[in-house]
Structure 1
Amino acid sequence: MSEIIAIANQKGGVGKTTTAVNLAASLAVEEKKVLLIDIDPQANATTGLGFARTDYEYNIYHVLIGRKKMSDIILETTIETLDLVPANIGLVGLEKDFYDSGIKNKELVLKEKLAEVKEKYDYIIIDSPPALGPITINSLSAANSVIIPIQCEFYALEGVAQLLNTIKLIKKTINPKLKIKGFLPTMYSAQNNLSKNVLYDLEQHFSSKLFASESDTNEETGDGRYIVIPRNVKLAESPSFGKPILLYDIKSSGSIAYQNLAQSILAAS
């Protein structure tokens, strides 16, 4: 049975796509069959795996409006056990298309479309857009769990309460199986007091939902208690080369962090 994980936060620039791409790749190299669904109109997860917008004719938009089946649009990636459902800017008009078509249960469309392929995969990772609109609602309605990236910067927790309320409402009314898998501090710098303060705030409010580190020492956190994603040049560069970090620089701190996250998720499964 596949585990479906949504990566969500309505704030932009917090590392959602970076997490979606690199978690998916890190799970795939552990010989797990993984499907990465790019459902963000910016399509950054798609380009981050090396696909130009001219490389594919159909995308998740065509599936959601009923023109294509999910299996029709799946792309193979350079990692043998990692497949991709690409996105396109056309997703920005999805809400209007849903309204015009009179489709019922709009929040369940992705879940229904996934039914065709989900048993082929061990993990399905959904890269959600930076908004709490119908696309993210579909992502959360289809998922078993959600990972919430939190950038270690000013106003890090801004909007988290709204996201948590949305998750609570979806769990109550649509998807009772939905749970928060964890909060993931991103762009962390051990030399930056602000990063330490954000991690402290997360620990005070959500300590049971931080990913525990198995390391006794961790130079990125200073104490090895929690998995964090470091601010890392190689991690920032890799999308421009169309590669997940483990194919771009497997020994970088960013690559190691996402491999540790994948191991944590595998251990909990």
Structure 2
Amino acid sequence: MTTTLAVANQKGGVAKTTSVASIGAALAELGHRVLLVDLDPQACLTFSLGIDPEDLQVSVHHVLTQRAVAGEVVLQTPDGPDLMPATIELARAEADLLTRTGREHVITSMLQDLAESGADYDWVLLDCPPSLGVLTVAALTAADGVVVPLQCETLSHRGVGQLLDTVHDVRRFANRTLSVWGVLPTMYDGRTNHARTVLETISETYDLDVIEPPIPKTIKFAEAPAAGRSILATSRSSKGATAYRQVAANLVARAARNGAPAAAVPESGSH
């Protein structure tokens, strides 16, 4: 079985792409077959894994809007996971898909086509754009679960509330089995009272699980994309790499608990 996770937060700067790359690499280290899908027109995931978007002839944009063959777009990365890359052209996809019937199912169909072509992945991680538009809704429609990276320095309650509203709507209209796996605290500095307080109140504030351990703040994360690798390759023994390996192991354990109860998604307007 394939487990598909949407990694989503419409607020930028929360280490969303770093988390996708790092968790993907950690899952690959554990022997899992992993596909990362870059759904952000800024193509940060693609770039951070050593691929220049400007060198690409085809990308996820062509699969979603021009019916390109999904398997022909997938690339291998040095860190182990496969990647379906993005380019700036993806910025047009929102407009292209707005008038399409069944637009919320385009990523579901893409992943089904990949599976039918013989691609066999244990995990698919969807790096959602920093918005709640068509692509994020399509990702949530295709996903089994949602992981919400959340910066420990500044809590944007309104932003997470809006995301949970969208998740609730997707569950109601397009994907009844979608569950929220939890909040992943990022950029955590345990030396500050504020960061510790934020971490302690996340679960209570959002009525969501906290995915452990929190990801520490470290300059090593800034160095990794420049090398075109994840932190697991550039700084294997760093606290950041160790934390992401533990997160990946915890996600594997969660996936193994078939039928585990999902985190409740608050009703619209309840936050």
TM-score, normalisation: structure 1:
0.90
1:233 aligns with 2:216: no
1:249 aligns with 2:235: yes
Asked if the contact 2:54/2:87 (under 8 Å) is kept, the reply is: no
CA RMSD of aligned residues (A): 1.4
The equivalent residue for 1:176 is 176
3-state DSSP of counterpart to 1:176: coil
Of 246, 254, 258 in structure 2, the residue corresponding to residue 260 of structure 1 is 246
Asked if the contact 1:156/1:198 (under 8 Å) is kept, the reply is: no
The equivalent residue for 1:93 is 92
Equivalent residues in 2 for 1:159-174 (5 A)?
159-174=159-174
Equivalent residues in 2 for 1:6-17 (5 A)?
6-17=6-17
In the TM superposition, residue 208 of structure 1 has moved relative to its aligned partner by: 5.2
- Residue deviations 1:194-239 (CA, integer Å, cap 9, x gap): 211211220323465112xxxxxxxxxxxxxx41011011122111
Equivalent residues in 2 for 1:199-218 (5 A)?
199-206=199-206, 209-211=209-211
Distance in 2 of aligned mates of 1:181 and 1:29: 22
Distance in 2 of aligned mates of 1:50 and 1:232: 21
- Residue deviations 1:62-86 (CA, integer Å, cap 9, x gap): 0001331110100011134x10000
1:83 aligns with 2:82: yes
Q: 1:26 to 1:171 in 2, by over 3 A?
A: same
The one-letter amino acid paired with 1:105 is G
1:36 aligns with 2:43: no
Structure 2 residues not aligned, in runs of 5+: 256-271
Distance in 2 of aligned mates of 1:154 and 1:247: 29
- Residue deviations 1:94-121 (CA, integer Å, cap 9, x gap): 122124xx42111111111110224610
Asked if the contact 2:6/2:128 (under 8 Å) is kept, the reply is: yes
Of 108, 114, 119 in structure 2, the residue corresponding to residue 117 of structure 1 is 114
Distance in 2 of aligned mates of 1:172 and 1:14: 27
Asked if the contact 2:39/2:126 (under 8 Å) is kept, the reply is: yes
- Residue deviations 1:127-146 (CA, integer Å, cap 9, x gap): 00110011111111110001
- Residue deviations 1:34-73 (CA, integer Å, cap 9, x gap): 0000010010100111111244210000000133111010
1:61 aligns with 2:61: yes
The one-letter amino acid paired with 2:112 is A
3-state DSSP of counterpart to 1:31: coil
Distance in 1 of aligned mates of 2:53 and 2:208: 40
Distance in 2 of aligned mates of 1:7 and 1:149: 7
Number of aligned residues: 252
1:103 aligns with 2:100: yes
Asked if the contact 1:48/1:240 (under 8 Å) is kept, the reply is: yes
Distance in 2 of aligned mates of 1:84 and 1:2: 16
Identical aligned residues as a percent: 37
Q: 1:69 to 1:36 in 2, by over 3 A?
A: same
TM-score, normalisation: structure 2:
0.89
Q: 1:116 to 1:67 in 2, by over 3 A?
A: closer
The one-letter amino acid paired with 2:162 is Q
Q: Which moved more, 1:149-158 or 1:240-249?
A: 149-158
3-state DSSP of counterpart to 1:40: coil
Distance in 2 of aligned mates of 1:79 and 1:201: 34
Asked if the contact 2:150/2:185 (under 8 Å) is kept, the reply is: yes
3-state DSSP of counterpart to 1:57: coil
Q: Which moved more, 1:149-158 or 1:3-12?
A: 149-158
Distance in 2 of aligned mates of 1:93 and 1:197: 41
